[in-house]
Amino acid sequence: MCKTEKSTLFHSIFERADLNLLTKIPTNSSDEIRMSKKVVDQLKVALKYQMALFKHFNVPIIVWDQDFRIMEFNPAFEQLTGYRAQELIGKEIQLLFPEDQKTGISDQIREILNLTELPIQCKNGQVKIVLWNSANIYADDHETCISSIAQGIDITDRIRNVSIIKTNANNLRMILEKDVDPILILDQKGIVLFANPASHRFFNQVDLPGETFGLPLTNESKTEIDVIHNNKENSVVEMFTDDIDWQGEQSILVRMHDITDLRKNEQNLIDSEKKFRTLFEESRDAIYISNIEGHFTDINPAGMTLFGYASKADIINIDIANDIYDNPSDRDKVISTISANFGQTGHLFRFYSDSL
């Protein structure tokens, strides 16, 4: 069959089969004629089924001849490209490819016999990436290729999503590597899969991946532990853990925050408060703390003795201006002076014993 005989692939196949059968029908045998017509009817049914399958198949299908001219494509291909079949039948298949891809496209199309990603330019100018697979159709000699048929899957969104995932993964890795806190990712056995630069500095070890983490992991998302790291001193570390998916495997994210200085400062504050309390309680001078409403919040034993009270419970709720000062307006003057210099939060007063 010459490739220019028929307009479509499926009609060409049917017509060839139809003619071949009819030329073999003996004119002197009515039984054989009836039998051959039965075969032709069966072929027509098969062709009808094939055409329906071609039309309704939800995967884009295109057929082209050996001159790379389009012979047919199905509605799914129309939906993919935005072209109607009648717009492109008989035209070169190169029309479907972006301008910068047209050079050497014939060689690339021949490679579609294997799974190949090729871009398609739609009618509206949009370029889509399609994964193609094809097969050649041969003439009766089984050697002459008369056309090719290909089916494609639009993977544009898939590639875009993969690109987004890769970008997010790269961003995540960059964030992890820039973080000042040690961050590690462990497998379920506690083997280090990833360690950021801060981890290498903290443990003073270059090749952490592949090593056993070695620190206890609990079911608590936040744990405080003592660690000896590169300076050979004990460090207090706040360790946060969480389950994550890392490169397709269920893994454990570990973040360690050194709170050694924080704990030292807290201890220094506790020690300072103890010293203050000792001075406050043991001072021979009367010392008290009052709020801006004019009530005691704390007073030392010397202060209670000075004002004539036996316990803090008796003095805490009294009105300082009216109950302590001989002239209540004097307290306002004192408070105004203090507030102008230190603000209005609370007031610490110390009465020296030599002024009593």
Q: pLDDT by residue (tens digit) across 262-321?
A: 888 998 999 998 998 898 888 888 888 888 788 888 888 998 888 888 888 888 888 888
Contact in structure between 93 and 69 (CB atoms under 8 Å)? yes
pLDDT, mean over the chain = 79
CA distance 108 to 180: 49
Q: Tokens 């201890």 belong to which residue?
A: 267
Per-residue confidence (pLDDT) for residue 82, from 0 to 100: 93
Phi then psi for 316, rounded to 5 degrees?
Answer: -60, -40
pLDDT over 70 (residue 166):
yes
pLDDT over 70 (residue 173):
yes
Average pLDDT over residues 112-133: 84
Contact in structure between 150 and 179 (CB atoms under 8 Å)? no
| Among the listed residues 57, 63, 45, the one whose alpha carbon sits nearest the alpha carbon of residue 6 | 63
Q: 283-355 architecture in CATH? A: 2-Layer Sandwich (3.30)
Residues near 209 by beta carbon (within 8 Å), at least 6 away in sequence: 192, 193, 194, 195
Higher pLDDT, 271 or 35: 271
Categorize the per-residue pLDDT at 348 as very low, low, confident or very high, splitting at 50, 70 and 90.
low
Q: Tokens 């003073």 belong to which residue?
A: 204
Rounded to two decimals, the pTM is 0.46
CA distance 96 to 89: 12
pLDDT over 90 (residue 83):
yes
CA distance 283 to 304: 12
Phi then psi for 298, rounded to 5 degrees?
Answer: -160, 150
Phi then psi for 80, rounded to 5 degrees?
Answer: -65, -45
If you classify domain 9-158 with CATH, what class do you get?
alpha beta
| Among the listed residues 208, 204, 262, the one whose alpha carbon sits nearest the alpha carbon of residue 228 | 204
**Minimum mean pLDDT range among 38-52, 251-265, 273-287:** 38-52
Per-residue confidence (pLDDT) for residue 193, from 0 to 100: 92
C-alpha distance from residue 238 to each of 136, 197, 235 (Å): 66, 18, 10
pLDDT > 70: what percent of the chain?
81
In 247-324, beta strands by DSSP E: 249-258, 286-290, 296-299
C-alpha distance from residue 88 to each of 84, 106, 111, 134, 242 (Å): 7, 17, 22, 19, 56
CA distance 148 to 51: 17
Q: In the numeric block, which tokens belong to residue 200? A: 């290498």
Start and end residues for every CATH 3.30.450.20 domain found in the chain: 9-158, 175-261, 283-355
Categorize the per-residue pLDDT at 191 as very low, low, confident or very high, splitting at 50, 70 and 90.
very high
CA distance 120 to 96: 6
- The CATH superfamily holding the domain 175-261 is PAS domain (3.30.450.20)
In the chain, beta strands by DSSP E: 61-65, 70-73, 116-121, 127-138, 145-154, 183-186, 192-195, 222-228, 234-246, 249-258, 286-290, 296-299, 347-351
Categorize the per-residue pLDDT at 247 as very low, low, confident or very high, splitting at 50, 70 and 90.
confident
